Amino acid sequence: MSLDSGLMAATTPERRGRAALGLAGGIAGFLLTLAITLFGLVVVTFVIGRIVPIDPVLAVVGDRASAATYQRVRTEMGLDLPLVEQFRIYLVKAVTGDFGRSVLTTNPVIEDIRTYFPATIELATLGTLIGTLIGVPLGVFAAVRSGSVLDHIVRIIGLVGYSVPIFWLGLMALLLFYAKLDWVAGPGRIDIAYDYLVTPVTGLLLVDSLMQGQIDVFWNAVSHIILPACLLGYFSLAYISRMTRALVLNELAQEYVVTARIKGLSEARVVWRHALRNAAVPLLTVVVLSYATLLEGSVLTETVFSWPGIGSYITSSLQNADMNAVLGGTLVVGAAFVTLNLVSDLLYRLLDPRTR
Amino acid sequence: MAGTSSSLAAWLTTAEPQSRAQARLGHAWQGFRRLSRNPTAMAGLAIVVLLIFVAVFAPLLATHSPIASGDLRTERLLPPGPVFWLGTDDQARDIYSRLLYGSRLTLAVVILVSVIATPIGLAIGTISGYFGGWIDRILMRITDIFLAFPRLVLALAFVAALGPGIENAIIAIAITAWPPYARLARAETLTIRNSDFIHAVRLQGGSSLRILLKHIVPLCLSSVTVRVTLDMAGIILTAAGLGFLGLGAQPPTPEWGTMIAQGRRFLMDQWWVAAVPGIAIFVVSLGFNLLGDGLRDALDPKAAR
């Protein structure tokens, strides 16, 4: 849904009008919007942090501390300052990446995020790749043979993707492909036997293991990632194929397609070289938006597959009332989502000459 | 009988309605006629009607209590059978009965989120579009900020702060759901704002509030309604996701997402405990999606892709 609205936002006449200011104006406007939106995100997480019913001082000192200790810690945490001043400190800390310490892991939250985030990126990237490589051709075929059996199948794939709870589908996939058929490895990112064999460089296990020549580790990691990646890929495919179909159908109705056909070009050339090429820019924004949604939506998938990513980090911190970790994780995922969302908008304006 | 139904059809489809009510009913009838020609939309409508029926008559349809445990020694984790139609969970409760009562929660979530989010979106969108200028710029900037937010993660953080529970889950989803409605209502308002009939009302001395409430909002309603219906599946899925993560309805409430989370521990051997509520969520969201698609085509031909 946020995908739809995002694309809607990207194509409103108002935004296209703004793009008329030109390239520099476009980038300046993008940076301004990005800054304001990220600021909004910081405000919202600050407000969320203030309405927590848990007393953050009690969480640190424990309920047996004396009144003097309580007061001292309260002052140290800056909780006796006026709200505006508290927000200023929070904002400065957020910008510099200081989200405080996690009560659960006792590490600074930003270090935890550095450890967990690559796993999420690895999963979401593979998911988007699968979704794009299958979704775009499916959408094109559905548009070319609009009304055919294939078109209906693509529509059903999309409808199911929009209707099925992802965590439930993940559980059922684990039951079938791991427990019953034993085709893939189970939850987690790697078997314990292979753990710590690869030194993290990029943090992406598939890349690191290949670079260090650990082929066994690579294949083990593949058998772990393939199921959650296919699952995320399916959801991305449902959206991408539907949007591709709509975009290509729109192009096929244009007059240049008629001209190309009259010129005697083969139908394949008309579709793949002319129509798809003109749909490529909005399609790119669709893929970027889908990537952003997978980053965010990984919260549920990661929980199901015990995937040690940022989503698992946020939910396990939630269950332990570790608010520093929750808000830090939310800010980072939120910032990635917001940036990708706005980048897709910028790409649309920069790459499509018609919007200049 | 045939005579009355044909005269009723004539009354509904007349080109010269005698009253406002007749015109409205006639309009609704035409919309329904268009909808009824679309078999998948009717399937969606049937699912939604079934959901409402089950939610209303859950106590009559249920065979067991949805909350009270059965005999923990003999009735735990039973497979589907003649006594427990869809099996039992780890507390020896009848899954079929829990499923029926769970439909009430699903329906409540959908209705409450729409009731909270739609007026917010309508108010912000119509005010923004009608007044224009700096009001428009500020309101739309706020809407854009919320549009760019990650909805699920924010809902998570909200619920984390407010405390787990179905009420807080509803508030969290509603807070993140309104921006698309505001954008849509604004776009509609912009096309209506300069119509002759709005000028006429203004010349007659109608206040801005009156114009907004009596003339603009009703005209925005149909497209916003379509959009809300299309979003309902997403609302159900988010609520179930929060329940699954332990942040929505709390046990022993028979919420479907929470039921999946409880069944997860027995996935390998008693798979139906987790599978059955998931199928229910899937069918209901599919129903709302089909109905929403059909409504969009029937009521709002402009938005049809």
Q: Give which of B200, B140, B195, B146 is closest to B174, Cα–Cα.
A: B146
- Name chain B contacts of A321, Cβ cutoff 8 Å: 160
Nearest CA in chain A to B230: A1
What digits encode the pLDDT tens for the residues B237-277? 999 999 998 888 888 888 999 999 988 888 888 888 889 99
Q: Which of A27-36, A126-135, B78-87, B224-233 has the highest mean pLDDT?
A: A126-135
Specify the DSSP element, H or E, that contains B72: none
What are the beta bridge partners of residue B94? B88
Q: B180 vs chain A: nearest CA distance in angstroms?
A: 6
Is residue A43 within 8 angstroms of chain B, CB to CB? no
Query: Is A318 in Cβ contact with B247 (below 8 Å)?
Result: yes
- Averaged pLDDT for residues B93-112: 91
Query: Is B147 in Cβ contact with A5 (below 8 Å)?
Result: yes
Round to whole Å and give the CA distance between A180 and B276. Answer: 18
Query: Is A44 in Cβ contact with B149 (below 8 Å)?
Result: yes
Round to whole Å and give the CA distance between A224 and A204. Answer: 13
CA angle B150, B151, B156 (to 5 degrees): 105
Q: B150 vs chain A: nearest CA distance in angstroms?
A: 6
Q: What pLDDT score does B46 carry?
A: 94
Is residue A315 within 8 angstroms of chain B, CB to CB? yes
Q: Which of A263-272, B62-71, B286-295 has the highest mean pLDDT?
A: B286-295
Assign A9 a pLDDT band (cuts: 50, 70, 90): very low
Which of helix, strand or coil describes residue A1?
coil
Min mean pLDDT across A268-282, A300-314, B111-125 is at A268-282
**Residues B181, B184, B190, B192: is their CA dihedral positive or negative?**
negative
Q: What pLDDT score does B69 carry?
A: 79
Round to whole Å and give the CA distance between A342 and A340. Answer: 5
Assign A209 a pLDDT band (cuts: 50, 70, 90): confident
List of domains in chain B: 41-299 (1.10.3720.10)
Is residue B129 within 8 angstroms of chain A, CB to CB? no
Nearest CA in chain B to A329: B153
- Averaged pLDDT for residues B113-120: 94
Query: Is B147 in Cβ contact with A6 (below 8 Å)?
Result: yes
Task: Pick B30 or A355 by higher pLDDT.
Answer: B30
Do B223 and B303 form a contact (C-beta atoms < 8 A)? Answer: yes
Nearest to B157 among A1, A48, A297 (CB): A48
Query: Is A48 in Cβ contact with B161 (below 8 Å)?
Result: yes
- Name chain B contacts of A2, Cβ cutoff 8 Å: 147, 150-151
Q: What pLDDT score does A234 carry?
A: 94
Please check the confidence at residue A132 and state whether its pLDDT lies above 90.
yes
Residue indicated by tokens 């499923």: B99
Please check the confidence at residue A75 and state whether its pLDDT lies above 90.
no
Would you give the end-to-end CA distance of chain A in angstroms? 28
Round to whole Å and give the CA distance between A38 and B144. Answer: 12
In one-letter notation, the amino acid at residue A336 is A
Round to whole Å and give the CA distance between B245 and B240. Answer: 9
Min mean pLDDT across A23-27, A41-45, A214-218, B23-27 is at A23-27
Query: Is B285 in Cβ contact with A6 (below 8 Å)?
Result: no
Assign B278 a pLDDT band (cuts: 50, 70, 90): very high
- Name chain B contacts of A49, Cβ cutoff 8 Å: 161
| Alpha-helix runs per DSSP H in A145-211 | 149-163, 166-173, 205-211
pLDDT cut 90: percent of chain A above it: 17
- Averaged pLDDT for residues A134-148: 90
What digits encode the pLDDT tens for the residues A159-187? 999 999 999 999 999 988 988 888 888 78
Phi, psi (deg, nearest 5) at residue A223: -70, -20
Considering chain A, what is the average pLDDT of its residues?
82
Chain A interface test: which of B156, B250, B267 (most A C-beta within 10 Å): B156
Q: Give which of A219, A136, A166 is closest to B236, Cα–Cα.
A: A166
Assign B117 a pLDDT band (cuts: 50, 70, 90): very high
Residue indicated by tokens 């219906």: B229
Q: B205 vs chain A: nearest CA distance in angstroms?
A: 32
Is residue A173 within 8 angstroms of chain B, CB to CB? no
Is residue A146 within 8 angstroms of chain B, CB to CB? no
CB pairs under 8 A between A and B: 159
Do A280 and A250 form a contact (C-beta atoms < 8 A)? Answer: no
Task: Pick B106 or A318 by higher pLDDT.
Answer: B106
Prior bond to B252 cis, omega within 30? yes
Round to whole Å and give the CA distance between A150 and A139. Answer: 10
Phi, psi (deg, nearest 5) at residue B170: -65, -45
Please check the confidence at residue B57 and state whether its pLDDT lies above 60.
yes
Round to whole Å and give the CA distance between A38 and A33. Answer: 8
* C-alpha A123: how far from chain center: 10
Phi, psi (deg, nearest 5) at residue B12: -75, -30
Please check the confidence at residue B154 and state whether its pLDDT lies above 90.
no
Round to whole Å and give the CA distance between B58 and A332. Answer: 44
Min mean pLDDT across A113-117, B72-76, B189-193 is at B72-76
The residues, ordered by sequence, that sit 6+ positions from B279 with a Cβ below 8 Å of its Cβ are none
Q: What pLDDT score does B128 carry?
A: 93
Please check the confidence at residue B41 and state whether its pLDDT lies above 60.
yes
**Residues B160, B166, B171, B172: is their CA dihedral positive or negative?**
positive
Round to whole Å and give the CA distance between A115 and A310. Answer: 9
